[in-house]
Structure 1
Amino acid sequence: MSITDYPELTIILRGYSFEEAMFVMEELAAMNTSVGIEVTTNNDDFARIITEGNKKFGQQLLIGAGTVLTFSQADQAIAGGAKFLLGPKNFSTPIFSLAKERGVVTVPSAFTPSEIQIMFDEGADIVKVFPAVTVGPTYFKQLAGPFGIRPLMAVGGVTIDNIAAFKKAGVVYFGVGSSMFQKADIQNRNGQAIRKSIQSYLDKLAEAGSEEDESH
């Protein structure tokens, strides 16, 4: 897939059972909206979730893997149909090579300006800045000075209260995990609450985008 098809918002599914993950995906698929679904490798059933998720919802959702730390995890995820790989650290050359060969988007993590540039030089499609909340929106604004607006993803501490500030600072992509849903809503299969939560994030991003357009 091309980076131009990559959605603005990625929802991180960490610590969910197979059944819970399938429930969230089903609700998202019904919304008919463009979001990424990141299934982290520290979910016991991560490969099964990716495989079954793609079988059932692959036409409506962009499903990939997160917390990719090893080549083996990347290989398993791609075998299950993962369309992208995210990690909390730099990716190795073999991971980049495998992903490029299979047409999978790579989103390794970096923190300093030098690390960010190295990952782009290695072939990263998007670079994840993690944990984003540690440096805040101002960091991204400062990076845009020498580097311009790059395809960076803010992950780690992004919430409904600060996502607009990150977007206004020049962030292009966002990954949201534990702050996206109330755990009880997942456990109780409260689909209406799940959809409402996701929509609130999408609305915030749209609102921030329109404000940005008006200021130019």
Structure 2
Amino acid sequence: MEGCVISILRGYTYEQVKAVCDTLCQSSKVKNVEITLNTENALEIISRITKEYGHCLHIGAGTVVTHDEVKAAIAAGAEFVLSPVGYTKAMIDTCHAHDVIAIPAAFTPHEIYTQLQLGADLVKVFPANELSWTYAKKVMEPLGDLPLLAVGGVNAENVQEVLNSGYHYVGSAGGIFKKQDIINCDHEKLLASLRRFEAALDGETHAVS
């Protein structure tokens, strides 16, 4: 992974994913793309996109919930795997054996701590927007600095607040690009949305509409 942002793509076709990747190759701040496994032909898309955009983006797999899915995602070329649930040690060990970043999910301090003890590289707090954004800082008060990824409700309007509230990483499914622009492969509108999000990352909230 590179930087602190993951663009999450769920349910899009290869051509639509390609349109997003074309746009993100013009970014210096958003370089990570997650393609979820509950997307039709997800493994094929991950394989093709990795080969075509691996020179400028980091491609990962999302909604990876079983050990077999971990193995399949790795075989397809994923550089990182994420889940809405926790991982077993065997799943994390399989990731590390192939130099793949393991990002299971957790919600409570106990779950977060357990996943990190099992060897998780990052822990995805999901759904993060069901809690105050300062939840991350509260968890870190007794446990120390933790590599936490906020997923759920992150957008251009709040990304700076999220990152200032203790999270080191964010993932966004609908907060960077508009769904219809992705469906339409509208490169001009996709780039405009990207620039707004990048401005928000820089704290230029006045540039966000």
TM-score (norm 2): 0.92
Q: In the alignment, what sits opposite 2:207?
A: none
RMSD, matched Cα? 1.5
Q: Is the 8 A contact 2:31 2:56 kept in 1?
A: no
Q: In the alignment, what sits opposite 1:212?
A: none
Q: Is the 8 A contact 2:128 2:151 kept in 1?
A: yes
Tell me which amino acid in the other structure corresponds to 2:23: E
Query: 1:153-181 CA distances to partner (integer Å, 9 max, x unpaired)?
Result: 00011122221111111110000002322
Q: Is the 8 A contact 1:136 1:166 kept in 2?
A: no
Instruction: Report the Cα distance in structure 2 between the residues aligned to 1:67 and 1:124, rounded to whole angstroms.
Output: 16
Q: In the alignment, what sits opposite 2:13?
A: 17
Instruction: Report the Cα distance in structure 1 between the residues aligned to 2:96 and 2:27, rounded to whole angstroms.
Output: 30
> Is residue 67 of structure 2 the alignment partner of residue 68 of structure 1?
no
Give the one of 56, 81, 84 matched to 1:85. 81
Question: Which 5+ residue runs of structure 1 have no aligned equivalent?
Answer: 209-216
Instruction: Report the Cα distance in structure 1 between the residues aligned to 2:146 and 2:84, rounded to whole angstroms.
Output: 19
Query: Could you tell me how far 1:33 is from its partner in structure 2?
Result: 4.6
SS of corresponding position for 1:115: helix
Spell out the pairing of 1:17-166 with structure 2 (5 A cutoff): 17-31=13-27, 33-166=29-162
Q: Is the 8 A contact 1:32 1:60 kept in 2?
A: no
Q: Is the 8 A contact 2:155 2:174 kept in 1?
A: no
SS of corresponding position for 2:198: helix
Which contiguous aligned blocks of 4+ residues in structure 1 show a shift greater than 4 angstroms? none
Tell me which amino acid in the other structure corresponds to 1:72: D
Q: Is the 8 A contact 1:22 1:49 kept in 2?
A: no
Bigger fraction of residues in helix = 1
Q: In the alignment, what sits opposite 2:174?
A: 178
Identity of aligned residues (%): 35
Q: Indicate the larger mover: 174-183 or 193-202.
A: 193-202
SS of corresponding position for 2:47: helix
Query: 1:122-152 CA distances to partner (integer Å, 9 max, x unpaired)?
Result: 0000000000000121211212211232110
Question: Which 5+ residue runs of structure 2 have no aligned equivalent?
Answer: 205-209
Give the one of 183, 189, 197 matched to 2:185. 189
Count of matched residue positions in the alignment of Structure 1 and Structure 2: 204
Query: Could you tell me how far 1:60 is from its partner in structure 2?
Result: 0.3
Classify 1:27/1:67 alpha carbon distance in 2 versus 1 (closer, same or farther; 3 Å): same
Query: 1:21-46 CA distances to partner (integer Å, 9 max, x unpaired)?
Result: 12211221244554210000000111
Instruction: Report the Cα distance in structure 1 between the residues aligned to 2:185 and 2:151, rounded to whole angstroms.
Output: 26
Query: Could you tell me how far 1:186 is from its partner in structure 2?
Result: 1.7
